[in-house]
Amino acid sequence: MTTATMQIRNFRRFDGLAGASAVFIMIVLLSGFAVPWISPYGSGELREDNLLEGPSWIHPMGTDALGRDLLTRVLYGARVSMTVGIGTALIALIIGTTYGLISGFKGGHIDDFMMRLVDIFYGLPDMLIFILLSLLFGKSIGGLLLALGLVTWVRFARITRGQVLQAKEFVYVEGARAMGAPHRRILLHHIMPNILGPILVTLTFSIPAAILAESTLSFIGLGINDPYSGWGTSWGTLAQDGWRAMRAYPHIIFFPAAAIVLTILAFNTVGNALRDLLDPRTR
């Protein structure tokens, strides 16, 4: 068993807030994916007799301008946000760690060149690159994942490379090399376990960053624009609907907004706890 997994097993170090956040994330995740079975309303079910109703027992979050149940729509939105957040993080993880591993392991001119490229990407505002990329990839959820992943990978590349450079100096890695272990073995068996912790922390932080970016873009009208996919409407789009009706019906913006803030806050809290847990220096 690697050190990282051993430390993750040590869940008792999690404080109460981080535990509550993790539970909250699980609830949002599960209910988001189970909503087609648990909600008595369809995501697009229009009811003309109860437009713009406030919260009640039948509609805990009220209804929107077309009479749709807002709780159902928020839960479908959870499915969108979680898909975007986790999907982006995984894409970025795969691209970034591969890039960082190669760069750090090869060293020399190759490393210099690869990192110069990362520096250029790293300095630019995420949202700018993201908007430009989403023009190219289109406004479907797949295109969005790709665009967000291509923005986020540089963080993984930097972290991974730094960790590889550090791990390369460890005596036991030198020992393994002296005993003639092949590159692949050194990478997978000796360096990977060491860098899992920091990568896991970066992974946790890139999920809320992706959710934030996606909902912001949807709010300003540049996000997913695929109303017929049935996957759900983004929280950002729901908030945009509420924004236009905020003066008279504040509940329509309140619930999606609260969902966004609480989810991002929960991920950040878990991320902080994980960082303290896995990084002995901050303890």
Site string for other proteins, 243-272 (x = CB under 8 A): x--xx--x--x---x--xx--xx--xx--x
Q: Which residues contact 183 (CB under 8 A, 6 or more apart)?
A: 105
Whichever of 41 and 219 has its CB closer to other proteins, that residue is 219
Whichever of 187 and 201 has its CB closer to other proteins, that residue is 201
Residue 230 region by backbone torsions, left for phi larger than 0, else alpha for psi between -120 and 50, else beta:
left
Whichever of 67 and 162 has its CB closer to other proteins, that residue is 162
- Is 216 near other proteins (CB under 8 A)? yes
Q: Return the exposure string of 195-232: e unless at least 16 CB atoms fall within 10 Å of the residue's CB, then b.
A: bbbbbbbbbbbbbbbbbbbbbbbbbeebbbebeeeebb
Question: In sequence order, which ranges of the chain are alpha helices (DSSP H)?
Answer: 3-9, 16-38, 70-106, 108-123, 126-137, 141-168, 171-178, 183-185, 192-219, 235-244, 251-278
> Least distance from C-beta 136 to other proteins, angstroms?
5
Whichever of 21 and 103 has its CB closer to other proteins, that residue is 21
- Is 154 near other proteins (CB under 8 A)? no
Query: Which among 26-34, 151-159, 189-197, 212-220 is the span making contact with other proteins, rule CB under 8 A?
Result: 212-220
- How far is residue 150's CA from residue 2's CA, in Å, rounded to a whole number? 29
Q: DSSP letter at 50?
A: G
- Is 241 near other proteins (CB under 8 A)? no
What residues numbered 31-90 form the site for other proteins, per CB under 8 A? none
**Displacement of CA 136 from its chain's centroid (Å):** 22
> Least distance from C-beta 57 to other proteins, angstroms?
25
Whichever of 95 and 133 has its CB closer to other proteins, that residue is 133
What residues numbered 92-131 form the site for other proteins, per CB under 8 A? 120, 123-128, 131
Q: Looking at beta carbons, which pairs linking 120-123 to residues 24 or more positions away fall under 8 Å?
A: 121/151, 121/154, 122/154, 122/155, 122/158
Asked whether 221 and 240 are in contact (CB, 8 A), the reply is yes
Out of 85, 208, 223, 232, the residue judged to bind other proteins by CB under 8 A: 208
**Which residues bind to other proteins, rule: CB under 8 A?**
120, 123-128, 131-133, 135-136, 138, 208, 212, 215-216, 219-222, 236, 239, 243, 246-247, 250, 253, 257, 260-261, 264-265, 268-269, 272
